Structure 1
Amino acid sequence: MYFIKIDPCKSTLTIGIENMWFKQSLIEFKFGERNEFYVKGTLGMEYIVEELQSSKEYLVSVNISVCFEPNKSKCYIQRPIAKDLLISKPQCNWNMDFKTPGFSLKSWMQSNQFSIHNKLPVYANYLLMEKLGVSNHLLKQSCHQNRKLEQMTVNRWIEECPLTIVKPQLQNGVTCTLTHSCTGVECCLDVELIDRSIFFKLDLDPCNHILLLSIENLSYNISLFNFDWGRDIRFSLENVFRIDYSIYDLSSSRLFQIDMNISACFETTGSCMFSQRVLTKTLLVKKPCEWVTGFVNANFSVGKWKADNNLQDKQYLHPTEILRLTEALGIKPFLQKDKCDKYREPYSKNIQGFSSGCNEVLRTITIPQDVVCHVGELCTEISCCTETEIIARTLETKLIIDPCDFKLTIAIERLLFEVDLFHFEWGHQKQFDLYGVMEVS
């Protein structure tokens, strides 16, 4: 039996042949590279794992072999069993029990004859972290060594965000930083019992629509497109170290309202050893994102990308290759699930590329055949649907002027910007792009 198991919740990859197996951390794993696993040089598995972060999927290719000679080209059996197999990442259950069900630190220390009031010896720390299942996720360098204590304010916050944001007083033993983005929080918690500090991070990226959560080196990305706003959610490292949070998106005010609590817990029942309310209904300001970003990779070339992936220059792309390309371009999370269609409303009744719900007589221009546009009934909004041959789909762009709220909205697929027209530079040509792939001018 050959098997491969990917566990994104515990950041592990396990490869096995019969009763021989090998587990490695995904934190240092090199995605996209060819790997081998052999048992005594006879039973072999070659595998490639690619991570599609934005769509929360893996692409897996696996070949198996049975060899009786050192020359691997003359193996008795060589078979591909998976080629670009698309595997979705599972939803992680962060409300899990301890690795050892019913674990109690008090009972563990009594049985090992340690005092709850003293720091544990180094070897006991190692045993405890192994027992709790967190040892593989601890940072090599404890976060207290990186703290900028000279910048710490009286309420134990380190200020990096240039904006004035009200934050609570923190307890002794914990320091937090509101990062330069003004929507990210990093905390360092001293746990005296184990004589080390634990790193916590919650980072909202409204420009790329991602929430990043980290405890030590365990990290997890969550898309904000279908996020459960306002719900109490927990992220934990084996239920020992926890981030409890809830987030509201106050989109009209360009704010996030956040509750966040960090804790260190060593008992199945009863209170945690340490718990700190970091944010309480705190309003964090979304900084404006750049209108023009260009390609994620400034030197990107479709021709080079095809060559690197062993594809002919004029070759049509397979769906999995399109998936790889949109991932490489950084546009995958912004693509609409229901793509626009010039044969469906509101574009189907177009004449020379234009359809209109506006009662005014409009002056139109000649547009390419692969583009259709629609003017909305308010006459101050226009959307266009453009065929994009290389990724075998259409892309939709929109521009809406709202004279009542004095606001301009511009969008490419699901990426949009809203602009206050009170300070808008009228008469100046502006550009807006989706990572260089689609540009609006």
Structure 2
Amino acid sequence: MVDCPLGVPLKPLSIPATCRIPNHCTAIDCCIEVDFLHRSFHAYIDINTCDNMFTVGIEKLKIDPVSLINYEFGTTKNFNLKGFVRVGYNIEDLQSQRKYKVNVNLSVCIESVGPCLYDAVLFKDTIIPKIMCDWEAGFSIPDFSLEKYTAIAGELVSNLTDSFKEKLYEDLGIAGYLREDSCSLTSDAFAPNLNGWKSGKVVLPYVQLYLKN
């Protein structure tokens, strides 16, 4: 189940569990059921990009929030409930892209040695966008100038290549928020219009006739 509006890619789970990504997009929340125990277990990892903190928890057991400012990114760490439920995670900070690359494993182990009862890869090199916390924030690049940006790259504003536009969106930090198919002024949703406005199901010729009378 996914509540995140930014389309984080997910793989099908092969274990009796359901996981969701909340609408802030930088957390994963799972419920895994162990049938023969008639018991389910709650596990989660939450990366709070606004407060630069993250936490990991299994049931009532959780680590104290960890600061992302001095965090050693790229290292694999493990958190477990007495060895029974285990969460393994690795977080990489892709600063220039304003994203994280995340790996998360979830396991339930009955025996102290040997394979686990359930073992699932929740995230495998999954790219998660850093959400925008301050809606009043300015450009990701201070004093940004499109003219200078294109001149340095040897591009003309009037003839930008698709690859250059993609890099521009990445550098401005807006790529993760863009839909794959952009809206079109000629689509039924926006046309026809009167002075740039379309209201409900009103058809343009009737609106013009009404205004003339």
- Structure 2 residue aligned with 1:271, among 115, 119, 143? 115
Paired with 1:172 and 1:264, the residues of 2 have a C-alpha distance of 10
Deviations 1:178-199 (A, max 9, x none): 1111111001111113211110
Matches within 5 A, 1:357-396: none
Q: TM-score, normalised by structure 1?
A: 0.32
Q: Does 1:181 align with 2:20?
A: no
- Structure 2 residue aligned with 1:235, among 60, 71, 79? 79
Equivalent residue of 2:36, what SS? helix
Q: Does 1:262 align with 2:106?
A: yes
Deviations 1:293-324 (A, max 9, x none): xxxxxxxxxxxxxxxxxxxxxxxxxxxxxxxx
Identical-residue share of aligned pairs (%): 28
Deviations 1:225-261 (A, max 9, x none): 1111111110111121110010111111111111100
CA separation of 1:405 and 1:187: change in aligned 2, threshold 3 A: farther
Equivalent residue of 2:107, what SS? strand
Q: TM-score, normalised by structure 2?
A: 0.63
1:269 Cα shift? 1.5
- 2:51 equivalent in structure 1: 208
Deviations 1:111-146 (A, max 9, x none): xxxxxxxxxxxxxxxxxxxxxxxxxxxxxxxxxxxx
CA separation of 1:195 and 1:283: change in aligned 2, threshold 3 A: same
Equivalent residue of 1:159, what SS? coil
Paired with 1:421 and 1:283, the residues of 2 have a C-alpha distance of 14
Segments of 5+ residues of structure 1 without an aligned counterpart are 1-157, 293-398, 407-418, 423-441
Paired with 1:165 and 1:420, the residues of 2 have a C-alpha distance of 20
Paired with 1:172 and 1:234, the residues of 2 have a C-alpha distance of 20
- 1:160 equivalent in structure 2: 3
- 1:401 equivalent in structure 2: 143
Which protein is richer in helix relative to its size?
A: 2
Q: Does 1:420 align with 2:172?
A: yes
Q: Does 1:252 align with 2:4?
A: no
Following TM superposition, where does structure 1 have runs of at least 4 consecutive aligned residues deviating by more than 6 angstroms? none
- 1:195 equivalent in structure 2: 38
Q: Which amino acid aligns with 2:85?
A: F
Paired with 1:258 and 1:223, the residues of 2 have a C-alpha distance of 17
Q: Does 1:289 align with 2:41?
A: no
Paired with 2:110 and 2:116, the residues of 1 have a C-alpha distance of 7
- 1:171 equivalent in structure 2: 14
Paired with 2:149 and 2:58, the residues of 1 have a C-alpha distance of 42
RMSD of Structure 2 on Structure 1 (CA)? 2.4
1:166 Cα shift? 1.3
- Structure 2 residue aligned with 1:280, among 124, 129, 144? 124
Equivalent residue of 1:252, what SS? helix
Q: Which amino acid aligns with 1:173?
A: P
Equivalent residue of 2:88, what SS? strand
Deviations 1:337-383 (A, max 9, x none): xxxxxxxxxxxxxxxxxxxxxxxxxxxxxxxxxxxxxxxxxxxxxxx
Which protein is richer in strand relative to its size?
A: 1
Paired with 1:174 and 1:264, the residues of 2 have a C-alpha distance of 11
Computing the radius of gyration from Cα coordinates, the structure with the larger value is 1
